[in-house]
Structure 1
């Protein structure tokens, strides 16, 4: 009876109707069909909550509305978490939990010149011996061309500006020139929904804004002068200052960073359901964007049990705790207290720690203490001192923050295409930063991406020593990924691709030079194929990866066949 009542409560919480004939007092009865209310024994494979008497009725129920209710989660509320997403059944690794179109999508607060319709970065053609963009014939905003000018997404804002005879004055000033004028577009699109789509407008306005925390920040002082003036005085729209700034703050709190696979488009969008997910610095999902309309797909990276929180990450997993929590406080206005943030070692990775200068000194009396690191005495308090795990040496938190920022700036100044600079950075700070410090990890990730992919460093051009270096780096990063981003994450998938490519090249060289027998070469190639198959399982949902993965599988299979045919 408890299981039966639980199912009824789940139906109510998920918004599904309780079936007629399902309850008779407190006695459980045969489940009934969602469509005809007759006894049924076929359960919906998605939500596991609704029954049907036949396949035709299941299809009919789907068309009549169950597709909008069928999901593996429900939205709940608590005083500590606010609104959050909970699994209503066991979810398998790799399962798509949600696919959702954006409620609103538009430019970031500041960005290079982009098309207002498709969001692509614009490279201006030469017109009449002058470089300039194609402009909308009505409002003069830069666009790709006539097709984008006529797109539905641009029509409402274009009309609002044209009615007031407003003309955009953006002109070509060189490549990648950052334009602040785009700060008005995304909030304007939401405000115009108040008449064109009032229900969607209300849904967006019901999201958390944290405006009271942002209102006196430097950014919102600028928005008061620019965004509010544009909406009220330039366009003459009937909105007060608080409403306008609330919309901007809702974007800052809830928007996802949307990027196209080729990097030509970067926007921000609000997804109403996905925004309900709670944050964790060790999330159990990842998200991807599908198609030109940027539908978001939420994918389980690990198995999720019924009743578990469904979580995402609103910061960078390869940042240390100091940087992650600061970013979340500044941009999302909450203090993360997840298990990773509470652990001064970050699950044994020591990602945010440094060596103790006393224990690791050349004159340190205790040789056994070598390798000891400074740990925060309270990771949830950024002002807490840092103390050595083996001796009494302590430093103030501000010293840790200052040193971390100084080394971060040093890393950011490096030439992103020169691997020697990253190798020198790692060597230079090897007595201060251990091999899994977050700054060293970011340098190693850059090396993995350069070795085998950049001009002058393709796999065929790499020396045997650098090829082995790439393989070792991949293994090191995969160990960190297993602790911080476990399961089918994009980070793991990309690393597996890099590793299998380097291992395949190494095997090929050693077989051709006689260092490997045919049997040994085939064993190593099969190991590479296993890695490639796992990478394929992780990345195959990303449409732009399909051709790449198929090509790699074909190449490796052919190499296996060729090796097997060698005498």
Structure 2
């Protein structure tokens, strides 16, 4: 009988027996701390990660966990391979990416212009930025001058469509290895070539690169680069909203999409590093996924967005489920079953898609034979969405009226109702005239109820440590703390009861802290809130400064 010996791990550096694993990937062994440090310096730091890239006929290239990943763990942090303005946008600085404000010179408002190529910039320092050098040189050599002039602050300029693709094309000479990495990404050019946008790009971008700049590329390569950008880029923005760009991250592009992903991403630092954080525990061998759409959109809108912008049809578990994991996010009540007195207090049946993976499939009642055509759902969604957009976000009345007006039509979790509820949560407690200290007891309770409603939804659609859940917890904690103070002052609560409720508020705050500490600008805000609640617990009092 053949016996098998258990293989003894060996040190990555000296090949001697070892029992210490790398703390990052858990795949490499070392015999000592000294050799671990040596191995890190000699190259393991470039290979150490909790994932690997695989290929299959089902998923194409995708990312898989090579070990168990903890909730909240940073899986990947990556610098952008390419960075540039959106295809159409208000004037932005090509150096730092900041949205530009005009200056007044001799009664004329205009932007500072690069002294060489005439593109709008922040000033002399930005026109010397490394990211602008190659494009500026080629435009200057060809005697091209940008002609963007100030008209009004938010006027979108289509001229910016050439910048991001041009920066990738110029990498062929300035950074050939990175150029090849980007060109190896999926483009879906064949799906985009006949679209109205690419017909325009063929006339504008291709003409600019070939005729204006005289660069030695063929038409297909130019359009392929533009399509790679559209397929793979992430929107990146600064915390203050002054910079809104798009960037390509080569490794992150290997991550598959899911409408219920197990990661979230944040932008870290001024260099626009992209970091992915596990929102739930991820088991070894499990797919690591991100979302390329909005999780609070219904299936019709999500799948249409993915088909239009990313050129694929999502078939994740949520998309296949007519009820969207029991949330009914895209559903409306059946108008037949919801007639007066038909079901009494029983919740009436919903209209759900007869085939969620076919956008043309009719929507049928869960109980009776009533159905409507999918185009009617599209029309209804679009009409109500436009109605929502008209409401000013400085007051709650329009959103409250919307929810009441359609309470017999839309499920309480319908994505349009959810948008209205989100707007109300932001207004109550944060806007002039509706600060927490100014809210009536009724409106304070309304904010609390809305937070509970959406937290229940978050548990199904964005489970775990998601930004959506974290921000809801912050809002809920602040409202509960004020409510506790009021009830204590009205002698509805004893001092002991008030402290118990403050302790519950602290638990919510600690969970929010676990989720949001890594978000830009949030660490200091959360620590201040924790100190405030801790002080209230120590004194047995609660102040109203939330």
Q: State the TM-score, normalizing by the size of structure 1.
A: 0.93
Q: 2-side partners of 1:417 and 1:169: how far apart?
A: 38
State the shift of 1:27 in Å. 4.8
Runs of 5+ in structure 1 lacking a partner?
Answer: 1-24
Task: Choose from 59, 81, 105 the match for 1:103.
Answer: 81
Q: 1-side partners of 2:303 and 2:533: how far apart?
A: 43
Question: 1:412 corresponds to which residue?
Answer: 389
Does the alignment pair 1:305 with 2:292?
A: no
Question: 1:284 corresponds to which residue?
Answer: 262
Question: 2:305 corresponds to which residue?
Answer: 327
**Superposition misfits of 4+ residues, deviation over 6 angstroms:** none
Task: Choose from 121, 124, 148 the match for 1:146.
Answer: 124
Q: 2-side partners of 1:564 and 1:354: how far apart?
A: 46
Q: 1-side partners of 2:538 and 2:39: how far apart?
A: 50
State the shift of 1:203 in Å. 0.5
Question: 1:64 corresponds to which residue?
Answer: 42
Question: 1:457 corresponds to which residue?
Answer: 434
Question: 1:199 corresponds to which residue?
Answer: 177
1:137–1:26: structure 2 CA closer, same or farther, 3 Å change rule?
farther
Q: 1-side partners of 2:184 and 2:398: how far apart?
A: 48
Does the alignment pair 1:53 with 2:37?
A: no
RMSD of aligned residue pairs (Cα, Å): 1.5
CA deviation digits over 1:438-461, x for unaligned, max 9? 100011001101111122221112
Does the alignment pair 1:528 with 2:501?
A: no
Counterpart mapping for 1:170-189 below 5 A: 170-189=148-167
CA deviation digits over 1:307-365, x for unaligned, max 9? 1100000000000001101111111111111000111111111000000000101264x
- Work out whether residues 141 and 167 of structure 1, in 8 Å CA contact, stay in contact via their aligned partners in 2: yes
Does the alignment pair 1:262 with 2:240?
A: yes
Q: 2-side partners of 1:249 and 1:483: how far apart?
A: 33
CA deviation digits over 1:254-285, x for unaligned, max 9? 00011111111111001101110111100000
CA deviation digits over 1:526-563, x for unaligned, max 9? 11111010000000112311111111111112222232
Task: Choose from 293, 300, 320 the match for 1:342.
Answer: 320
Question: 1:164 corresponds to which residue?
Answer: 142
Task: Choose from 26, 38, 63 the match for 1:85.
Answer: 63
Q: 2-side partners of 1:290 and 1:26: how far apart?
A: 49
- 3-state SS in 2 of match to 1:84: strand
Q: 1-side partners of 2:278 and 2:55: how far apart?
A: 22
CA deviation digits over 1:203-237, x for unaligned, max 9? 10010000000001000011011111111111111
Q: 2-side partners of 1:124 and 1:553: how far apart?
A: 41
Counterpart mapping for 1:127-142 below 5 A: 127-142=105-120
Q: 1-side partners of 2:352 and 2:288: how far apart?
A: 30
Q: 1-side partners of 2:126 and 2:536: how far apart?
A: 46
CA deviation digits over 1:32-53, x for unaligned, max 9? 1111222211111111111111
State the shift of 1:303 in Å. 0.3
- Work out whether residues 114 and 122 of structure 1, in 8 Å CA contact, stay in contact via their aligned partners in 2: yes
Which shifted more, 26-35 or 247-256?
26-35
Q: 2-side partners of 1:421 and 1:433: how far apart?
A: 16
Question: 2:206 corresponds to which residue?
Answer: 228
CA deviation digits over 1:402-427, x for unaligned, max 9? 21221112112222222111111111
State the shift of 1:564 in Å. 5.7
Q: 1-side partners of 2:390 and 2:206: how far apart?
A: 37
Question: 2:402 corresponds to which residue?
Answer: 425
Counterpart mapping for 1:484-523 below 5 A: 484-523=461-500
Q: 2-side partners of 1:478 and 1:383: how far apart?
A: 32
CA deviation digits over 1:31-90, x for unaligned, max 9? 211112222111111111111111111111111111111111110101121100001111
Task: Choose from 274, 280, 289 the match for 1:296.
Answer: 274
Q: 1-side partners of 2:405 and 2:522: how far apart?
A: 37
State the shift of 1:26 in Å. 7.5
Counterpart mapping for 1:317-396 below 5 A: 317-362=295-340, 364=342, 366-367=343-344, 370-396=347-373
- 3-state SS in 2 of match to 1:287: strand
- 3-state SS in 2 of match to 1:460: helix
Question: 2:424 corresponds to which residue?
Answer: 447
State the shift of 1:367 in Å. 4.1
Q: 2-side partners of 1:512 and 1:235: how far apart?
A: 73
Q: 2-side partners of 1:368 and 1:488: how far apart?
A: 36
Alignment coverage as a number of residue pairs: 541
Question: 1:546 corresponds to which residue?
Answer: 523
State the shift of 1:28 in Å. 4.3
Q: 2-side partners of 1:213 and 1:26: how far apart?
A: 53
- Work out whether residues 84 and 309 of structure 1, in 8 Å CA contact, stay in contact via their aligned partners in 2: yes
- 3-state SS in 1 of match to 2:208: helix
Q: 2-side partners of 1:475 and 1:35: how far apart?
A: 54
